[in-house]
Copies of this chain bind each other. A is one copy, B any other.
Amino acid sequence: MLGVLGGMGPMATVDFMGKVIRNTPAACDQDHIEMVVCSATSVPDRTAAILDRGCDPLPAMLDALKRLERSGATCIAIPCNTAHHWHGELQARTAVPILHIVDALADALTERGQQGTTIGVLATDGTVRAGIYQRRLAKRGFSCAMPDASGQAEVMRAIRLVKAGDVDAATTILNREAQALVAGGCSQVAMACTEIPLALAAVTGELKPRLLDPTDTLARACVRSCLAVPQRRVA
């Protein structure tokens, strides 16, 4: 059973769940993977905590983690990139494997033989400051490039717009910042905040094939992991 430590934000969790379902070969309900999902919206802002301006989100995430564990999760995913700053601390507190969103992306890129390329990263200030993508991708042979300071401020503004439900305004901003990363030499651009695919889902044209969706990559990794072990059958 897949455990989803979600709610960061809530619509990003819904997007992730949809990607798990669409990536599962199934002809009826019973072919699908069982999930237990905590949409833990009260987890304090992750970026604020990384930038030393907010409450520690770890206790609330641990609370949700323990509920997932008690519910029988055998594999856990966190559809929030910034929350991965606490991945090590969370993993240390449970025997249930927590798949890492950047590892899932690195695995997918490696499978395609793309080591050595430069990946543009559109992410929260917290994800960028914590080096979540830079360090993990560097170990796997990829370079990262981020927007400059004013571009990053725009990305952060767009992410907040998505969280507030104003997706259209966010789309315009994120499209521009993604194009800028491509113009700056990135072969591909990772939508490295789970709110971003919500705003760039409908993008078309030259940018589309250059966008990487770590939410989708994580969903695929979860499907592989869950289908590799027999599903718990209640009845």
Contacts and interface: CB of A to CB of B under 8 A. Distances in A.
A187 interface: no
A149 B178 CA distance: 53
Interface-centre pick from A60, A233, A234 (highest chain B CB count, 10 A) = A234
Interface stretch (A15-23, A85-93, A101-109, A113-121): A15-23
A33 B42 CA distance: 8
A22 B26 CA distance: 28
Classify chain A: how many residues form its interface, as a range: 35 or more
Given A44-B235, A235-B57, A37 B34 contact: no
Contacts of A234: 40, 42-43, 59-60, 63-64
Contacts of A235: 42-44, 55-57, 59-60
A9 B37 contact: no
A163 interface: yes
Nearest to A67: B71
A204 interface: no
Contact of A164 (B11, B28, B60, B70): B28
A196 B34 CA distance: 22
Contacts of A31: 41
A41 B34 contact: yes
Contacts of A214: none
Interface string A211-235: 0000000000000000000011111
A144 interface: no
Interface of A: 7-11, 13-14, 17-18, 21-22, 26-45, 55-57, 59-60, 63-64, 67, 70-72, 160, 163-165, 231-235
10 contacts: A8-B29, A29-B41, A31-B41, A34-B38, A34-B39, A35-B37, A42-B234, A43-B234, A59-B234, A63-B234
